[in-house]
Structure 1
Amino acid sequence: LKAEGKKFEYKIYENAPGGHYFNRTDTKLAKDSRREIYRFLAGYLHPAHPAD
């Protein structure tokens, strides 16, 4: 993406409980990451009823 001049965002979660599966659990980190993902997608997809 960088080589093609594309805009992108990323976040690295260091030592997240559950490893690659951490986003599917009910920890505070997982819930916060899902909210962050929903806000990111809403910025591009403009849903009628965005998730909180």
Structure 2
Amino acid sequence: MPHLEDILALKPACVWLQSGITNHEFEQKLAAAGIRVVPSRCLKVDRAAACGRSHL
């Protein structure tokens, strides 16, 4: 939440929140401003899954 106003001012198309990071109120405020939110995701884990790797 401390970065919400800065993010809203920048108006990015999307905000990515790393694994384990979620905040429903924060995500709702960004979505209301038309900013897509990707909560609690890790690109390394997603890539490993897409490549068929069971470990990192």
TM-score by length of structure 2 reads 0.24
More strand by share: 2
With CA pairs under 8 Å and 6+ residues apart, which has the higher RCO, 1 or 2? 2
